[in-house]
Amino acid sequence: MTANERKLLSSEMIYSGKIINLRVDTITLPDGRHATREVVEHKGAVAIVPVNGQGEVILVRQPRHATGETLLEIPAGKLEEGEVPTECARRELQEETGFVADSIEKLFSCYSTPGFTNEYLHIYLATGLTYTAENPDYDEDIEIISKPLSEAIELIWNGGIRDAKSICGILAAATRLK
């Protein structure tokens, strides 16, 4: 067994939910020791950095139960079964902000937190925005906020934007738009 190989000895599904599943795996490490890994399974998600013609980023402010806080973020959402990430990005943008985009450009994809989850995020830049009407999920409480891109970046540095997908997405969009 090489240093990067892990042998799966057992896997037990602990919880199966609408957004995530939780399983506990027992693996053999390269030196023969056994270890337990808790894995949060996730279907994947998209996040969108919508930038309007005035150079403003469209953000959403929403309560996040897990943090006990209301956060300022870029629009995002989970992939539906069989859904193509680009189409999910278009759908989530419209549902959460009411905007449709002429252009959806992929910036990058990444694992959100690979130490305990397989969630894979696809981050997009949306431009050529036209407002229609938002259509949030029944359990979403979203406020739409527009900020100049430079101000959104400043919010990152001063702690006003604190979630990883928004920080990475905004900084990548700023780089792409230069």
Question: Catalytic positions, please?
Answer: 140
Amino acid at the residue 38: E
Q: Count other Cβ atoms within 10 Å, centred on residue 173.
A: 26
Strand partners, 131: 99
d(CA 16, CA 30): 30
Q: Which structure tokens are listed for 98? A: 């009411």
CB 11 within 8 A of CB 38: no
d(CA 157, CA 1): 44
Rg, Å, the chain Cα set: 19
Q: Which structure tokens are listed for 168? A: 């990475």
